[in-house]
C-alpha cells in the first residue's frame, strides 16, 4: 500500500503544479480592459466657437473649422470613456478644486496654449497632451519654436507628415506596433502633425519617418530629467494629434493614443 501511494502522490502533485502553471499563463493572457474607472480631466477650449459665432461679420469658414474641432474633442472624450476613464471637462483655467483628485489630465491642442499657466508643469498628476506649444511650458522640450517643438502641415494648406517609425517597440507606449514597418497615422486628408525634440531623459517611441529628431510620441517617467533641468513630477506623454483631424486617424494612430493615456494613468512600478 505504501508503495502504491508513493507512486500516486508525485503524479498528483505534478498535476496540481501543471494546473497552477496553466492558470498563471491564462491569467497573463487576460486582455487589458482599460483604466478601471480612473478619473480623467480633459482640458479643451470651450469658448472659441461661441466667440466666433458672435463675430460680425460672421467668418463662416472659421466657424466651420472650430465646430469640427469641438466635435472632435467630443469624439476623443468618447474614446477615453470607452477605455473606462471617468471623464470630466474643463477649459484652460481649471481651479485647484477641479484638478484635485484627478488620476490623469489630458490637454487637447484646441486650447490657447499661451494662456495656460505654468502651474501645470509642477502638478503631481500625469499629463498627456498634443498641444506642442505647451511642451516648453511643461518642460517637455526647449523653448525654440521650429527647433525644439513645432508642427508639420498648415491649416488649409499642405499636409503634415503622416508616416512614423517606431523606435522603441518593446515599450507599452508603442502599443505593440512593429519597429520594422512604417506606420500610417492618418487617412489621406489635410492634417497637422505635432512634434517635439525632448531632452535626453525622455522615452522616445515614434518619430517622423526620415526625421529622427522630430518625435511624434515621447514621454517622461516620474522623476526623469526634463528640459531646463526640471524633474518630471509625474508621468508626461506627448502625442502627435491635431484635434481637428481626430476623425482621420488610422488604427495605428488610435492605438498610440490608447497606449499613451493608459500608460500615463498607471503608477510606476
- Determine the Cα–Cα distance for residues 110 and 253; give it in Å rounded to an integer: 18
**32-41, 58-67, 252-261: least confident range:** 32-41
Predicted local confidence at residue 161, as pLDDT: 72
Grid cell listed for 123 = 502638478
Architecture field, domain 34-265: 3-Layer(aba) Sandwich (3.40)
pLDDT tier for residue 14 given thresholds of 50, 70 and 90: very low
Predicted local confidence at residue 236, as pLDDT: 98
- Determine the Cα–Cα distance for residues 230 and 207; give it in Å rounded to an integer: 23
Predicted local confidence at residue 121, as pLDDT: 95
pLDDT tier for residue 29 given thresholds of 50, 70 and 90: very low
Residue with cell 502522490: 9
12 has a pLDDT exceeding 80:
no
pTM of the full structure: 0.84
- Determine the Cα–Cα distance for residues 121 and 107; give it in Å rounded to an integer: 13
9 has a pLDDT exceeding 60:
no
Question: pLDDT (tens digit, 9 = 90+) per residue, 88-97?
Answer: 999 999 999 9
Three-state DSSP state, 74: helix
226 has a pLDDT exceeding 70:
yes
Long-range contacts of 182-186 (CB under 8 A, 24+ apart): 182/209, 183/250, 183/252, 184/250, 184/252, 185/216, 185/240, 185/249, 185/250, 185/252, 185/253, 185/256, 186/160, 186/162, 186/245, 186/248, 186/249, 186/250, 186/253
Q: Supply φ then ψ for residue 164, to 5 degrees.
A: -135, 155
- Determine the Cα–Cα distance for residues 252 and 236; give it in Å rounded to an integer: 21
Query: Average pLDDT, stretch 17-21?
Result: 38
Query: Average pLDDT, stretch 200-223?
Result: 95
For the chain, the domains span: 34-265
- Determine the Cα–Cα distance for residues 250 and 43; give it in Å rounded to an integer: 23
187 has a pLDDT exceeding 70:
yes
**What percent of the chain is predicted at pLDDT more than 70?**
83
- What's the mean pLDDT when you consider all of the chain? 85
- Bigger pLDDT: 153 vs 240: 240
Peptide bond just before 57 cis, omega within 30 deg: yes
pLDDT tier for residue 117 given thresholds of 50, 70 and 90: confident
Question: pLDDT (tens digit, 9 = 90+) per residue, 138-161?
Answer: 999 999 999 999 998 655 445 557
- Bigger pLDDT: 215 vs 160: 215
**29-33, 193-197, 226-230, 255-259: least confident range:** 29-33
Query: Average pLDDT, stretch 180-200?
Result: 86
Q: What is the DSSP letter of 182?
A: P
Amino acid at each position: 500500500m505504501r508503495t502504491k501511494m508513493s507512486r500516486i502522490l508525485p503524479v498528483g502533485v505534478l498535476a496540481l503544479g501543471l494546473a497552477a502553471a496553466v492558470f498563471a499563463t491564462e491569467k497573463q493572457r487576460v486582455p487589458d480592459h482599460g483604466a478601471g474607472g480612473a478619473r480623467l480631466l480633459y482640458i479643451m477650449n470651450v469658448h472659441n466657437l461661441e466667440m466666433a459665432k458672435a463675430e460680425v461679420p460672421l467668418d463662416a469658414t472659421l466657424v466651420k473649422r472650430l465646430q469640427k474641432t469641438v466635435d472632435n474633442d467630443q469624439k476623443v472624450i468618447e474614446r477615453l470613456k470607452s477605455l473606462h476613464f471617468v471623464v470630466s471637462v474643463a477649459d484652460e483655467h481649471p481651479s485647484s478644486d477641479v484638478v484635485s483628485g484627478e488620476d490623469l489630465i489630458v490637454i487637447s491642442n484646441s486650447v490657447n496654449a499661451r494662456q495656460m499657466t505654468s502651474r501645470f508643469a509642477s502638478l503631481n498628476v500625469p499629463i498627456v497632451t498634443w498641444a506642442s506649444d505647451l511642451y516648453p511650458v511643461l518642460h517637455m522640450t526647449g523653448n525654440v519654436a521650429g527647433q525644439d517643438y513645432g508642427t508639420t502641415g498648415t491649416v488649409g494648406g499642405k499636409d503634415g507628415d503622416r508616416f512614423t517609425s517606431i523606435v522603441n517597440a518593446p515599450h507599452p507606449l508603442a502599443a505593440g506596433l512593429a519597429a520594422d514597418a512604417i506606420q500610417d497615422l492618418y487617412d489621406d486628408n489635410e492634417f497637422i502633425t505635432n512634434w517635439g525634440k525632448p531632452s535626453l531623459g525622455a522615452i522616445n517611441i515614434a518619430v517622423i519617418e526620415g526625421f529622427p529628431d522630430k518625435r511624434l510620441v515621447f514621454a517622461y517617467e516620474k522623476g526623469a530629467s526634463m528640459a531646463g533641468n526640471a524633474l518630471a513630477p509625474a508621468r508626461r506623454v506627448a502625442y502627435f494629434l491635431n484635434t481637428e483631424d481626430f476623425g482621420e486617424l488610422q488604427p495605428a494612430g488610435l492605438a498610440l493614443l490608447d497606449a499613451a493615456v493608459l500608460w500615463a494613468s498607471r503608477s510606476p512600478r
